[in-house]
């Protein structure tokens, strides 16, 4: 038996003003996406934005449903839209934000497991890493340079 170790690197930013200009631009779009969340059941708003290789920025927000599991997270709303409307454009970068309804302050927006799996599919499809930036409540912003880093021991097409 051997004990192995997996390490990931991430960049940490105290405030959004430390982000580079492209990430900041996408973050501003993710803020707009927060306003379109349909979250009457959780009152938790999530906004995602991603930049395509053609320069276009796609926004997505969480869309809930009375039959709870029928709703969809913001990240998948955005990436499925991008995949269906712009199948040949690469996704250059993504930002995810969250806030509780009625509050102005951002809270933690760490992508859920199902979103990691879905995002990974597109990263592998385009054969180019998708950096992702999200808010970690007290720690500021975290930027990870590849979705794969969020999902060790991934299940992907090579597993089939
Ligand atoms: N949610 C997202 O949109 N993205 C995530 O990665 C985690 C959770 C949404 C789903 C639901 O509408 C609300 O946040 C509370 O779980």
Domain boundaries, the chain: 17-150
First to last CA, the chain: 27
Distance (Å, whole) CA 118 – CA 97: 18
pLDDT digits 0-9 by tens, 56-83: 999 999 999 999 999 999 999 999 999 9
**In sequence order, which ranges of 59-146 are alpha helices (DSSP H)?**
74-85, 113-126
Alpha carbon dihedral 17, 19, 116, 98, in 10-degree steps, equals: 10
Ligand 1 midpoint to CA 119 (Å) = 14
Catalytic residue among 29, 75, 92, 123: 75
CATH fourth-level superfamily of 17-150: Cytidine Deaminase, domain 2 (3.40.140.10)
pLDDT digits 0-9 by tens, 116-139: 999 999 999 999 999 999 999 777
Distance (Å, whole) CA 123 – CA 75: 13
Any ligand 1 atom below 6 A from CB of 42:
yes
pTM for this one? 0.96
Distance (Å, whole) CA 67 – CA 47: 21
What pLDDT does residue 139 have?
Answer: 76
pLDDT digits 0-9 by tens, 14-62: 999 999 999 999 999 999 999 999 999 999 999 999 999 999 999 999 9
Verify whether residue 18 is a known catalytic residue. no
């Amino acid at each position: 038996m051997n004990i192995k170790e997996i390490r990931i690197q991430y960049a940490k930013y105290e405030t959004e003003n430390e982000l580079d200009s492209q990430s900041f631009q996408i973050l501003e779009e993710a803020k707009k996406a927060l306003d379109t969340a349909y979250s009457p059941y959780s009152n938790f708003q999530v906004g995602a934005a991603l930049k395509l290789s053609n320069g276009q920025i796609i926004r997505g927000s969480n869309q809930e449903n009375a039959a709870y599991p029928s709703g969809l997270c913001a990240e998948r709303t955005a990436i499925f839209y991008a995949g269906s409307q712009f199948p040949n454009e690469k996704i250059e970068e993504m930002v995810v934000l969250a806030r509780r309804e009625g509050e102005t302050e951002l809270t933690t927006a760490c992508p859920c497991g199902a979103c990691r799996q879905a995002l990974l599919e597109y990263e592998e499809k385009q054969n180019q890493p998708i950096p992702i930036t999200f808010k970690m409540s007290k720690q500021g912003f975290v930027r990870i340079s590849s979705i794969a880093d969020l999902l060790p021991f991934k299940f992907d097409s090579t597993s089939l």
